[in-house]
Amino acid sequence: MLFRLPFRQKDPEEPAHLRAGKWGESVAATYLQRKGFKVLGKRVRVGRRDELDIVARDGETLVFVEVKTRASERMGRPIESVKKGKRHAMGRAAWGYMKRLKRKPPYFRFDVVEVVGTEGGGNPVVRHVPNAFSLPARHRVPW
């Protein structure tokens, strides 16, 4: 007689925090496009472990955007969660992204976009923090 082991089926629905993150990224991309940015990519994978939420262009400046989404400000300002480790990971991802380009961008910067609200909860509050931090020294791009 053949015995079958019980197995857990994958939940077809994404966890709430992943849905909120994707929603926040789409809100941020729409906001940036309205401000005149050209969005080059969303959720850009660089290497095995690094990801850039949004890569955009503001004129000739290449902009790497970190999007932070919160349901309310009672959970803390989203900009507060971009700590040293996250800045390091973004710098590493941006460095890898720029190494793949055929030519050096004239300028680049790191922005943070805060999205406070929930999907279906009315108009979210969106705050853009341009030039939020600089590229760590260990990731200087040699051209």
Domains in the chain, CATH or no CATH each: 16-134 (3.40.1350.10)
pTM across the whole model: 0.81
User: For strand 61-70 and strand 107-116, is the pairing parallel, antiparallel, or unpaired?
Assistant: parallel
The owner of tokens 């009672």 is 74
Q: What is the pLDDT of residues 107-123, one digit of tens each?
A: 999 999 999 888 887 88
Least confidently predicted of 30-39, 74-83, 125-134: 74-83
CA proximity to 43, closest of 26, 62, 20, 27: 26
- Average pLDDT (84-104) is 87
Residue 94 makes CB contacts below 8 A (sequence gap 6+) with 46, 52, 64, 108, 110, 135, 139
Residue 141 makes CB contacts below 8 A (sequence gap 6+) with 95, 98, 99, 104, 135
Q: What is the pLDDT of residues 11-47, one digit of tens each?
A: 567 677 677 788 999 999 999 999 999 999 999 999 8
Strands (E), the chain: 38-46, 50-58, 61-70, 107-116, 125-133
